[in-house]
Structure 1
Amino acid sequence: MTDTHRLALRRELGTFLRAHRERVAPADVGLPATPRRRTPGLRREEVAALSGVGVAWYTWLEQGRVDTSREVLDAVSRTLRLDPDAHHHVLRLAGLAPPERAEDPTAARPLLDTWPDRAAVLLDGALSMTAWNTAYTGLWPDPAAIPPARRNLLLLLATDPDHQRRLPDWEPLAMDLYRHTRTHADTRPQDPAFRTLTTALATERPDLEAWWSCRSVGAFTSRTAHFTPAGPHTVSMLHTPDAPGSAILLFSRRVG
C-alpha cells in the first residue's frame, strides 16, 4: 500500500467516524442534553472520554492524522453504537481487517446461465453491470440497449424512468445497494469508478443529496420487490470466491 493510499484511507476513516458521531444523541450514551449544545450528536471530547482515549488522539483520528490500534477502534465503535457491518468497515479502513483480493469480473459469468428462469446480473464493486442472462432482459430493460457508460444499476434506478416504471417502489432497493457499495468505495478512495458514480448521482439527482452524503454501510440482505407487470420477486445477492468485490444480483419470482 502506498503512502498516498494509506493517507486517503485515514481521511475516509475520519470522515466515517465523524458522520456517525454526529448521529449519536447524548441520551443514547447516558449523557444529559443541554440547551446550549450546538454540536449535532456527541462532542469529540465525549467520544474520547467514553472510549477511554485522549481528546487530542481522538481529534487526530477524525482528522486522518494518525494510525491506531484495534482496541481503540473497538472502543470507539462501541461508543458510536456501530453495528457489525459498520464496525468491520472501520477496521478495514484502518487496515486491521483482511483486504479484498482484486476483482475478476469475468470469473462468475458462467453462473448466470445456470438460472434460465431467474433474472441475474453480475455487478462489479461500483454496481456497474458486467454481464446478465436472458431472463434479466425480460424483467428489466435490456442493458445492451443502454450506453456502456450508463450501465450502472444504482444510477439507472435513481435516474431512468423505464427502470422506475418496472419497479415503482425502487427506493428501498437503491438504498440497500448504495449502502452495500459504500463498503467498497470507502476502502478504494482513489478508484475512479466510485468517483464517477457518486459524481453522476450528485449531478443528476441533487434532490437526493441526503442519500449520497450518508455514510451508512451494510451488507445487502434479501428483500421482496414488486415489479410491473411481473409481480413480486425475491432479490438476493450472491458472492463468489472467484470474483471478490463483484456480486450476482438474483431475482426469483415469488409464487403464492
Structure 2
Amino acid sequence: MTTAEETARRGELGTFLRAYRERLAPDEVGLPATPRRRTPGLRREEVAALSGVGVAWYTWLEQGRVDTSRQVLDAVSRTLRLDGDAHRHVLALAGFAPQQATDSEDAGTGTGADDNLRAMIGSWSASPALVLAPDLTITAWNTAYSSLFPDPGDHPAERRNLLLLLIGDPAHQRLLPAWEPLAQDLHRHFRARADTLPRDARVQALTERLHATRPDLAHWWACRAVGGFAPRTIEVVDGDGGNGGSRTYDAALLTTAGQQGGGCVLVLTPGRSQGA
C-alpha cells in the first residue's frame, strides 16, 4: 500500500469514528447530559477517558494523523457501542483485516462475470438473480430477473448498477414500492467497501453518481453506517398494470469471496404462495 493510500485510509477511519462519537448520547455511556453541552454526542476527551487512551492520541486518531494498536481500536469500539459490522470495519480501515481486492473485471454485458457464477444463476429458472461487482455494478443476470425487472442490458453501461437503479430509475421504483429499505441496506454494504478503498476509481465514480442522481438523499451518503445485507422479504408489483397484483420474494446476498474481487450474488427466491 502506498503512503497516499495509507493516509486516505487513516482519514476514513477518523471520519468514521467521529461520526459515531457525535451520534452517541452521553446517557448511553453513563454520563450526564448537561444543558451547556455544545458538542453533539460525546466529547473527544470523554471517549479517550472511557477508552483508557490519552486525549491527544485520540484526537490525532480522529484527525487521521496516527496509526494505533488493535487493543486501542477494540477499546474505542466498545466505548462507541459499535456493533459487529462497524467494529470489523474499523479494524479493516486500520489494516487489521484482509483487504478486498479491487475488481478489475469489465462490467456491463455480463462478460466480466465469472463463468461459473453465470452458469449457476442461469440454471435458476424460477429465481431472479444478479451477479454484482463489489461496487454493485451488475455484471450478469438471468432470464428470470430480466422477465421480472427491466432488462439491465437496456441501460447504459455506466448506469448498470443496482444501487443507482433503485434510487434513480422510475421503472424499478414502480415495481418495488418499498425500495428505500433495500437501497439503504445495499448502501451500507457498499460503504463497508468504499471506506477501505478510498482511492479506488470505481468506488469514487459510484459515490459521485449517487450524489448527482439523488442530492436529496445527502443524509444517506453522509451517514457512515456500514453493515452486511440483511435477508428480507420484498414485494414486487406486477409489471403489466392489469389487476395491480404483486408477488413476494425472499432476497439474499451471497458473497463470493475470492472471486470477482469480493463480489456477490443477489438471489430472489419466490415466496411459498408462488409455489417455489
Asked whether the two chains share a fold, i.e. TM above 0.5, the reply is: yes
Shift, 1:199, TM fit: 1.3
> For residue 206 of structure 2, what is the aligned residue in structure 1?
197
Q: Give distance in 1, aligned partners of 2:219 and 2:9.
A: 23
> For residue 39 of structure 1, what is the aligned residue in structure 2?
39
Q: Give distance in 1, aligned partners of 2:201 and 2:140.
A: 20
Q: Give distance in 1, aligned partners of 2:87 and 2:35.
A: 31
Contact 1:140–1:166 (CA under 8 A) maintained in structure 2? yes
1:249 and 2:266 are equivalent in the alignment: yes
Which TM-score applies when normalising by structure 2? 0.90
Contact 2:253–2:266 (CA under 8 A) maintained in structure 1? yes
> For residue 90 of structure 2, what is the aligned residue in structure 1?
90
Shift, 1:240, TM fit: 2.1
Contact 2:176–2:237 (CA under 8 A) maintained in structure 1? yes
Q: Which moved more, 1:241-250 or 1:53-62?
A: 241-250
Q: Give distance in 2, aligned partners of 1:137 and 1:24.
A: 43
Shift, 1:101, TM fit: 4.0
Structure 1 residue matching 2:224: 3-state secondary structure? coil
Contact 1:221–1:236 (CA under 8 A) maintained in structure 2? yes
> For residue 146 of structure 2, what is the aligned residue in structure 1?
137
Q: Give distance in 1, aligned partners of 2:102 and 2:213.
A: 30
Q: Give distance in 2, aligned partners of 1:222 and 1:159.
A: 23
Q: Which amino acid aligns with 2:251?
A: V
> Would the alpha carbon gap of residues 209 and 102 (structure 1) be closer, same or farther in structure 2, given more than 3 Å must change?
closer
Unaligned stretches of 5+ residues in structure 2: 106-111, 239-245
Shift, 1:239, TM fit: 1.4
Q: Give distance in 1, aligned partners of 2:176 and 2:20.
A: 31
Contact 2:100–2:193 (CA under 8 A) maintained in structure 1? no
Shift, 1:114, TM fit: 2.5
Structure 1 residue matching 2:272: 3-state secondary structure? coil
Contact 1:165–1:228 (CA under 8 A) maintained in structure 2? yes
5 Å-filtered alignment, 1:42-61, equals 42-61=42-61
5 Å-filtered alignment, 1:1-256, equals 1-103=1-103, 106-107=113-114, 108-229=117-238, 230-243=246-259, 244-256=261-273
Q: Give distance in 2, aligned partners of 1:144 and 1:153.
A: 12
> Would the alpha carbon gap of residues 241 and 211 (structure 1) be closer, same or farther in structure 2, given more than 3 Å must change?
closer
Structure 1 residue matching 2:74: 3-state secondary structure? helix
Q: Which amino acid aligns with 2:270?
A: R
Structure 1 residue matching 2:196: 3-state secondary structure? coil
Contact 1:235–1:251 (CA under 8 A) maintained in structure 2? yes
Q: Which amino acid aligns with 2:150?
A: P
Q: Give distance in 2, aligned partners of 1:102 and 1:198.
A: 16
Q: CA RMSD in A?
A: 1.2
Q: Which amino acid aligns with 1:146?
A: H
State, as a whole percentage, how many aligned pairs show the same letter.
58
